Chains A and B, each alone.
Chain A
Amino acid sequence: MRHLTPQQLSASLDEELTGVSKELVERHLVACPECDAASERLSALDARLVVLMSDEPGEAFFDELLEAVELRIEVPETAPSPVAARPPARKRETRPEPPRAVPRPAPEGVAARPAHGSRQPWLALALCLAVLLVAVLVYRGAGAPAFGVRFETAGWDSLARRALALVPRPAPRVPAAPEREPEAVPVVVPAPTAAPVATSPEPAAESTATAAATRVAAGPPRAAAVEPPSPEPVAAPAPVRTATPARPKRSESTSRPPAVKAPAPTGSSAERLPARQTPSTTLPGTRRIVTTTTVTPPPPPAESGMVCGEVRDRDGNPVASAQVMMSDVGVVVLTDRAGRFCMSVPVGERTLSVLAMGFLPKHRPLSVQKRTPELTIQLESAPPFQSQP
């Protein structure tokens, strides 16, 4: 007779057998005393194990356990205790846990440091940024070639003197100060930048300053090329310290052309050009560097107009969920169930595109006005798709 396998015995004991297999095993247990004894043995073992695994410490134990849990659970705002953060290996100890380690006081003259790294990374980041900012300011203030100008004098002594002179000393107010102008070193604007103004009727010697002034006034070189040349020779502005409290943006100052310095100051140019000059500090024995930065006023917001309409198919039925877009201004809307759409786009000449499933795309030029007339766009059905043989 084939005896039952341990799996069959175990599954029978756990009442996990069903159907025919259950019937066969039960029949075998009745007929086979050895298998029946083995089953009894397993059942007795289970009973012993249940006793072994069970523990009834009493209600007081659980009350005390709950209090311990309550004491250890912190409010979410506080950091988890180091005891709770320990790996489970250390939690085998049954003795009461020692009090938290108090960090040793730092010796005199030594700053106390956090035990495990910085718990405020933002503070460290802010400090790094501040140090970097100070370094950049000192570097640029000391005449670094940030504006295309190089110092001829070098060395740590001169750098230190410049840094010391920059930090605490209040700079005297120097309004146009024409008598100081001869100290300045003219900076030659690179030749290619003067090319757009070469057609000016003015002499070639003045074309460099004219080009620079035109660029400063009009902002980007593209705008300078559009602007007609000035009928009068325009000299670059003198180093005037303006009283405007606002500082120019760093991105603007760095994106401007290099330093512009003209030998002869003219009062009219300072009025015409919305420029700000930042004279650098001049130290004895060093050349004075004058940098010019401009603040271009932001372009006026474009006037927007509403474009509304409806999209229909050839039969006049509305086309829903069609994409109506003006890609040149990046506006995309979907038509509703009635095929209608509305979009707000800047006024001007635009191209309206309509895309819909099952229809050919349609593009049409459109002059967007503040109040554009209602549009009706008719889409042509796309030809049926034919697979390649």
Chain B
Amino acid sequence: MDRIPESARMDAAEEELLVRSAVGGDRAAFLALARLHLQPVYRIVFALIRDRDQARQLAIDTFLRGWRGMRHMPTDQSFAVRIGRIARNLALAHQRRLFTGSPPATPAAGPAAGADDFTLEQCEEAFASITPEYQHVLVLRLLERQTYAEIASTLDLPPAITISRVSGARQAMLERLGAASGPPAP
């Protein structure tokens, strides 16, 4: 949620004022916040869904849910954190419903294949076949550029589990792609 366009950036104090007004039921203030955070929310949702129409619908639902819960928003919470969490939860719930766990229909090259040997389509199939939890952690790390500590805080995980989950997500991707999943066994 830190990838706010420069044109849309505003002072923290100004945003806090908007949040305070929106908590009080000011619709215009909430729409101003929505304008500010629309693109980051859409990007988070799209990264998990990878379908433009569905991501658009989930982004709308995200702001609707955020608006409905605005009255109960803690004063010490950032709007970006809150709306980002809503977006991720909605997208993850969507992914969990669609998740079948079946491997991709067209595996990539053999075990010795390199990263350049599989296409984006194969990559997308492999990404869709890993668990939503792995997808989530990859989005947090690669798209949102969160550190391991931030991922641990976002997912409420211990740091050691966070390290193994990021690593496991990458290995799962390589396995689905049929590539060598890592170096030889130590």
Please give the residue numbers on chain A whose beta carbons come within 8 Å of chain B beta carbons, in ascending order.
2-7, 9-11, 14, 16, 32, 34-35, 37-38, 40-46, 48-55, 57, 61-62, 65-66, 68-70, 72-76, 80, 84, 88-89, 91-94
25 residue pairs bridging A and B, Cβ less than 8 Å apart: A3-B183, A3-B184, A7-B167, A9-B167, A10-B170, A14-B147, A16-B148, A35-B183, A37-B114, A41-B180, A42-B170, A45-B123, A45-B170, A45-B177, A55-B55, A65-B38, A73-B63, A73-B64, A80-B64, A91-B58, A91-B61, A91-B94, A92-B97, A94-B53, A94-B56
Residue B82, interface by CB 8 Å: no
B: residues with CB less than 8 A from A are 25, 27, 30-31, 34-35, 38-39, 42-43, 46-47, 50-61, 63-65, 67-68, 71, 90, 93-94, 97, 114-116, 118, 120, 123-124, 127, 138-139, 141-143, 147-148, 163-164, 166-168, 170-171, 173-174, 177, 179-186
Interchain CB contact under 8 A, A48 and B148: no
Inter-chain contacts of B116 with A (CB < 8 A): 44
Query: How many residue pairs between the two chains, A and B, have CB atoms under 8 Å in the bound complex?
Result: 168
Q: Which among A14, A46, A80, A92 is the interface contact of B68 at CB below 8 angstroms?
A: A80
For B97, what are the chain A residues with a Cβ–Cβ distance below 8 Å? 89, 92
User: What are the residues of chain B within 8 A of A52 when measuring CB–CB?
Assistant: 50, 120, 123-124, 127
Q: Are B60 and A72 in contact (CB under 8 A)?
A: yes
* Beyond known contacts A38-B180, A69-B63, A92-B97: 18 more, CB 8 A cutoff: A6-B182, A7-B164, A7-B167, A11-B148, A14-B166, A32-B183, A38-B183, A45-B170, A45-B177, A48-B118, A66-B34, A69-B60, A73-B31, A73-B64, A76-B27, A84-B64, A89-B93, A91-B61
With A70-B31, A88-B94, A94-B54 already in contact, the answer to whether A38 and B38 are too (CB < 8 A) is no
